[in-house]
Amino acid sequence: MTKRWTLPLATCIIASTAMAQTDSPKLADPVTEAEAMGVILKVEDVMGKVLGVKAPPRSLRPWSKTKAMSRAAIIDEFDRLFALAKPQFKYTQDPQPFDKTKLKAPAPQLAKLEKLIAFGLVAPVGPLATGPGDTLKLREFGDAIGYLISSVASLTHTPSSRWSPYLVAMDQQIAPSRRELESKRKGGGGGNRQN
């Protein structure tokens, strides 16, 4: 992850922590529409600033402080965040394998959920994808949004094979160390130098 994501991630973590401590809800209670949308809108704002994209205008209807946010609504919002970030992806990973029969989402959101899992933005066996209820607890929602933010941060920066060993094929030689390079420059170490 690059430095450009450090401050925004810290901001989102602080925002979600502040939301979690507002009115001191219990972590076992379902996340309300107001809590979830408060965090999602902050994440959207940070993603827009970091990635240099503008989110489409949306109606800011009043969100209920007592009604739990449904799984379907969370999937819709995560899909919207995905659509915002996707043009800035620098690479894509191989799709994650997962068991589609275990997914628990209404029919309209099932395709969105499968796409989010395939891109690695939602945990394939996490509460959002396979949880027992139609809502998420506050802690589960925090895990899901954190997973999404981390994945977007990973997909929107150019990876380096030096710091991302999974990019180096097993049959390739790892880059030579500084000492080996200096030795070759001074004429030691042989090598394939042609004059």
How far is 146 from 115, CA to CA, in rounded Å? 18
How far is 93 from 74, CA to CA, in rounded Å? 23
pLDDT band at 90 (very low <50, low <70, confident <90, very high): confident
Mean pLDDT of 37-49: 90
Q: Is residue 142 part of a domain?
A: yes
Better-predicted residue by pLDDT, 61 or 130: 130
Q: How many domains does the chain have?
A: 1
Whole-model pTM over 0.75: no
Range of the domain at 88: 3-185
How far is 188 from 181, CA to CA, in rounded Å? 10
- The candidate with the shortest Cα–Cα distance to 96, out of 127, 117, 126, is 117
- Please count the residues of the chain: 195
Q: Is residue 136 part of a domain?
A: yes
Model confidence pLDDT, tens digit, residues 76-85: 999 999 999 9
Model confidence pLDDT, tens digit, residues 3-32: 565 655 655 555 555 554 555 557 788 999
Burial 129-163 (b: 16+ CB within 10 A, else e): bbbeeebbbbebbbbbbebbbebbbbbbbeeeeee
Q: Under DSSP, is residue 33 helix (H, G, I), strand (E, B) or coil?
A: helix
How far is 59 from 154, CA to CA, in rounded Å? 30
Q: Is residue 191 part of a domain?
A: no
Q: Is residue 178 part of a domain?
A: yes
- The candidate with the shortest Cα–Cα distance to 80, out of 57, 64, 98, is 57
Q: Is residue 27 part of a domain?
A: yes
How far is 18 from 33, CA to CA, in rounded Å? 16
Query: Which pLDDT does position 147 carry in this prediction?
Result: 93
Query: Which pLDDT does position 194 carry in this prediction?
Result: 47
Model confidence pLDDT, tens digit, residues 126-180: 999 999 989 999 889 999 999 999 899 888 887 776 766 666 654 454 555 566 6
pLDDT band at 113 (very low <50, low <70, confident <90, very high): very high
Residue 2 has pLDDT above 80, yes or no: no
Query: Which pLDDT does position 183 carry in this prediction?
Result: 67
How far is 141 from 135, CA to CA, in rounded Å? 9
Q: Is residue 194 part of a domain?
A: no
Query: Which pLDDT does position 95 carry in this prediction?
Result: 82
Q: What is the CB-side half-sphere exposure of residue 131 using CA atoms within 13 A?
A: 23
Q: Is residue 192 part of a domain?
A: no
Q: Is residue 125 part of a domain?
A: yes
